[in-house]
Structure 1
Amino acid sequence: MKKIILLISFVFVLSCIKKEDATNLPPNIVLIMADDLGYGDIQPYGSTTIHTPNLEFLASEGIKFTDFHSNGAVCSPTRAALMTGKYQQRTGVEGVITAKSHRDVGLNLNEITIAEELKKHGYNCGMFGKWHLGYSKEYNPTLQGFDDYTGFVSGNIDYHAHIDQEGYLDWWKGTKIENEEGYSTDLITQYGVKYIEKNNPKNTAKPFFLYLPHEAPHGPYQRRIDSILRTVGKAGTKPISKNSIPSVYKEMVEVMDEGIGKIIQVLKETKQYENTIIVFLSDNGANRFGSNGVLKGHKGGVYEGGSRVPAIFSYPDKVKKGMINNQIVLTMDLLPTFLDFIDQKPSSTHIDGISIKENLIHQTNLPERDVFFAYGNNSFVRSGDWKLVYKKNKNGDKIELYNLSNDLQETNDVSLINPDLVKKLSNKLQLWKKEVKAGVRLVSK
C-alpha cells in the first residue's frame, strides 16, 4: 500500500513540475498580417460596414496603435523589414518582387530573419500564408528559419485555384509545389490552428512562433463561393464587376476575422492564450477599394493612407487591457521587441528597429527618433508631429510639410512658412537615403 501511495505522490509531483514548466515557458508569438487592409477597414478603427468582432475583442484585450506604420507602402518591402528588423533599403528589397519580372531574386540568405533569431533561443517556427520575398525554391521560408511552411510565394493568388498573376501554380508545402483544395484564407487559418494544437505544451517543451500572413483582402476579389479567375499557363485574371467588389471585400475581411477567432479559441483550449503574444497588423494601406478612414492617399503613396495601418498587440500576462498607443511605431520594431520579451538582443548590429517592450508594459514614452520612408521617387521623414514629404516627378521636385498633430488629413502644406524646418528635415532625409544606400546588399543572383 505504501508503494502505491508513493507512486501516486511521485506521479503527482511530476505532473506539477510539468505544469509549472509549461507556464514558465517564454511567451508564444502569433503574428498575423493582413494584406492591403486599410486604417478604416475594421471595427476597432471605426468601420461600421465591415464586422470584425474578433479583432474588436483582441483590441479590448490589449493595445491598439494609432500611429503604427508599415515600413513600405507595398508588400515586399514591408515584409523584408519585418523579417530583418531593418529598413528594407538595407536588404535590397526596395520594391515589389513581381511575378512577371523578378522570379529569380529574393531576400538575401545572409540576412538574419526573425524566425532564425527565435530559433536560436529554442522556438519552433511555423509560417502559413504569403511569403513574397522570393519565388524560387532557394528563397523558401524553410531555408530562412521556418521549420514548417505551407502557402504561396507570390504577391497574390487565385483564392481557390492558387495560381499567381502570371499563370504559375503557387501553393507550396516546404520547398515543393503541392496544391490542395480550399479557399486560401481558410487554409491559412486551418494550418495555424493545427500548428498551435501540435505545439501544445503537452506535446513539446518549446515555445512557438507562428507567422500567419494572410492574402485577404488583396485582390483578386473572391468569396468562398466564387468561381476560379485564373488558369495555369495563362497570365491575367478574369474580370469581375466592380460594383460587386465592396460586398466581396467585406466578406473577405470578415472571413479573415472569423479565422482569427479560431486562432484565439485554440490558444484558449490549449491553455496557452495568457502566455501568447498576438500581434495583428497590415502590410500597407488600402487601395481604392478599401478604406483608410480619414487618412489621405492609398497603398503605394507617401501620404498617411499608404503607410499608417491598423495594428493590435495582445499579451494577457503582461499588457494591460484596452490601452491606446499613440507612439510612432514601425513594422521593423517587432523583431527587437519580440526578442526583448525573452530578454535577448538581435544578433545583427545593424538593426534599425527599436524594442517597444517597456512602452507596451509600462506606457513609457519611446525615445525620440526620426523615422523615414521611401518608395520609388517619393519619400518622407517624420520628426515628432512634423512630416516632410518629398515627391519627384517629370515636372520637378516637390516638397510639402505637414503638422500631423492638427492636420492628420495632410490638407495644409506649411512648407512655405517654415523654410528653416524644411531645410533641416530635407537634409536629414537626404543623409538617410545615402546612409541606407551604402548599406544595401543587392538581392541574390
Structure 2
Amino acid sequence: MKLQTILIATAFLGSSWGPGRPGENEKPNIILIMADDMGYGDLGCYGQKMIQTPNIDALAKGGLRFTTYYAGNTVCAPSREALLTGMHTGHTSIRGNFLTDEKEDPAMPSEKVTVAELLKGAGYHTALIGKWGLGGEGHSPETQGFDYSYGYLDQIQAHNYFPPFLYENGKKVMLDQNADGKKGAYSHHLFVDKTLRFLESSAKEPFFLYLPYTIPHGEHVIPDNSAYAGKDWPEQFKNYAAMITQLDSDIGRIMQMLKEKGLDKNTLILFTSDNGANPGFAKFFRSNGVFRGNKTNLYEGGIREPLIAYWPGKIKAGQVTGHVAAGWDVLPTICQAAGIKAPAGIDGVSFYPGLLGTGKQVIHPYLYWEYYTYNYNWNKPDATMPRNWLDSRALRFDHWKAVVKSTPTDLAGKIELYDLAKDSTETTDLAATHPEVVKRVKELMQSATKANAPYFPYKH
C-alpha cells in the first residue's frame, strides 16, 4: 500500500527525525497544525477581506472546508487538552486558563492518554513545536508521549515573542540573541526553522508532528509588518494582520518543502485554531465572522473555528461541509487514519469517513463545553471574588444551541436557547417559548460533566 502522509494544521512542528518517504511505511505520517487566537473569519476562504492568506486559501480550494467545526474551548489550555485527549471540557482536567501558586499552568495529569502516546505505541516518532501550555518543567511534552519538543511550556511565557529562553526536550535553552531584553530572535521564526529542518531530514519510521504555533496570539508584535505598512490602521491591527499573513507564508514554505521531498501528494493537511479572536479584532477585521462573541465566551464567535482538510488524490477538491465536529474529534480521526483504535470512553467521534467520502460518518448526539474564568486579582488585599469560578457552559444538539452564563453567586445561571438553523448569530433567545428543549438541555448538561478537575473550581 502506498504511504499516506497526514498533515493536520493547528500550530506545532519540529523533530530530530525526518519524514518517511512514500513506499517506505505502511502507516501514514501525520502533521497537526493549530493557530493561536485566530478567529473563524480571519482567512480569505472564510470571508476575510482585509488580511491576505493565499496559501491557506489554496488549501481550502484544493480540499475540504468545514463550516461547523468547534474548538475544544474558548481559551488556550482546555482547548489543547481536548484536542490531545479526545475529551470535551466536561471531562478534561483543565477547564480554563489558570495559574498555580508556582505561577505556571497546571499540569495535565500523567494518567491522561494523549494522541501522541497512542501513536508512539504504534511505532510513530512523535514531535511538538510551539506552545505546550499543559504543564511546566517536569510536566513537558515528553511526559505525554512526545519524543521531541521545542517551544514554550507555559502560556504566560508564550506572550513574549522574544523570550530569553525556550525549552527543547523539556530542558531550558537560553537564547543569547534575546538576552538583556534584546530582540534578536523571534520565536515563531525559530519554530518554522525547526519545522523545515525536520522536513529536510529523512527516516524510515512514520512520524506524528504537532504544531501549536503561537501567532497571532498577543502580544501582537512582529519584526516586519510591511505587508500592511501603507494601511491607515492602528499599529496593533497592522501587526495582527501581518502575523496571520506570516503564518500563511510559512505554511506555503512547508508545502514547498513537502513538494521538494516528494511528500505533497501523500499529505493530508488539517488547519484550525484553538479559540476565537479577541473583541477588538472581531470588530475591526470581523475576525470571528458574522458570529456573536469572542475569546473567553461560549457564543459561536468564541468557539467556532476554521478547519480545512487537504489531501490530493484522497479528498475531492473544492468541497464544503456542514458536518458538525469539534476539537475532541481530532484524536479519533488521527487514530483511524493511522490504522489504530481510539480509546474506549472518549467523547470524540472520528470525521475521517467524511474526509474521504467513504464509510459511515457518525454524528454527535451533542457537543458540550464548560469554561472557568480565572481571577488574576484574587490575592489582592481588597479582592472579594474567588480565584476562579464556572463562567459559562454551552451545549449544542441538532440545530439547538444553549448557553448558560454563571457568576460566583449564581452558578446555575440562566439558560439561553438559540436555533442555529435560523439564527446563527445567536440574537433571539427562545428559552421561554421552548420549555421542552430547555428541559432536555438541563438533562444533557447534568450528565455531560464530571467533577474530576481539581483546579476547577479551585477550593483550597
Does the pair score TM above 0.5?
yes
Which of 159, 162, 169 matches 1:174? 169
Matched, 1:354 2:349: yes
Paired residues, what number? 396
Asked if the contact 1:36–1:285 (Cα under 8 Å) also holds between the matched residues in 2, the reply is: yes
- Residue of structure 1 aligned with 2:396, choices 361, 367, 382: 382
How far has the Cα of 1:384 moved from its partner? 0.8
Change (3 A) 1:265 1:383: same
1:212 maps to 211
Within 5 A, what are the aligned runs for 1:229-308? 243-290=234-281, 291-308=287-304
Question: In the aligned structure 2, how far is the partner of 1:100 from the partner of 1:192?
Answer: 34
State the partner residue of 2:415: 399
After TM superposition, give the deviation of residue 100 of structure 1 in Å. 7.2
| TM-score of the pair, normalised by structure 1 | 0.84
Give the Cα–Cα distance (whole angstroms) in 2 for the partners of residues 389 and 105 of structure 1: 26
- 2:426 and 2:111 map into 1 onto residues whose CA distance is 39
**Equivalent position of 1:341 in the other structure:** 337
Matched, 1:54 2:45: no
SS of residue matched to 1:50: coil
Q: What does residue range 160-199 of structure 1 map to in structure 2 within 5 Å? A: 160-162=161-163, 169-180=164-175, 181=177, 182-198=185-201
% identical equivalent positions: 34
Change (3 A) 1:331 1:46: same
Cα shift at 1:21? 2.8
Contact 2:30–2:207 (CA under 8 A) maintained in structure 1: yes
Q: Secondary structure at the match of 1:293?
A: coil
Deviations 1:130-161 (A, max 9, x none): 000012x2111122211111101122535542
Query: Which residue identity does 1:207 align to in structure 2?
Result: P
Partner residue in 1 for 2:9: none
Distance in 2 (CA, whole Å) between partners of 1:225 and 1:356 is: 38
- 1:70, CA displacement in angstroms? 0.6
Aligned alpha-carbon RMSD (Å): 2.3
Larger deviation, residues 189-198 vs 386-395:
386-395
Deviations 1:302-359 (A, max 9, x none): 100010011111222421112112111111111111110122112x323110111111
Q: Which protein has the larger Cα radius of gyration, Structure 1 or Structure 2? A: 1
1:329 aligned residue (325, 349, 352): 325
- Do 1:91 and 1:441's aligned partners in 2 also have CA atoms closer than 8 Å? no
1:238 maps to what in 2?
Answer: none
SS of residue in 2 equivalent to 1:68: strand
Cα deviation, 1:253-299, whole Å, max 9, x if unaligned, reads 11111111111111111011222222211000001233101000010
Partner deviation per Cα, 1:420-442 (whole Å, 9 max, x = no partner): 11111122112212xx22x5577
How far apart are the structure 2 equivalents of 1:81 and 1:249? 26
Q: 1:269 to 1:85 in 2, by over 3 A?
A: same
Shift of 1:174: 1.2
Offset of residue 191 of structure 1: 0.8
In structure 2, the CA distance between the partners of 1:303 and 1:170, relative to structure 1 (3 Å rule), is farther
Query: Closer, same or farther in 2 for the Cα pair 1:139/1:44, shift >3 Å?
Result: same
Letter in 2 for 1:112: V
Gaps of 5+ in 1: 1-17, 163-168, 227-241
Distance 1:108 1:442, change over 3 A: farther
Take 1:74 and 1:63, find their aligned partners in 2: how far apart are those partners? 26
C-alpha distance in 2 between matches for 1:256 and 1:134: 25
| One of 15, 21, 26 as aligned partner of 2:23 | 21
Give me the whole-angstrom Cα distance separating, in 2, the residues matched to 1:110 and 1:188. 28
> What is the CA deviation profile of residues 204-225 of structure 1, one whole-angstrom value per residue up to 9, with x for unaligned ones?
2112111111111110010114
Q: Which amino acid in the other structure matches residue 154 of structure 1?
A: D
- Alignment TM-score, normalising by the size of structure 2: 0.81
Change beyond 3 A, Cα 1:418–1:110: same
CA displacement at 1:250 relative to structure 2: 0.4
SS at match of 2:174: coil
Contact 2:41/2:47 (8 A) holds in 1? yes
Give the direction of change, closer, same or farther, for the CA distance of 1:100–1:220 in structure 2 (3 Å limit). Answer: farther
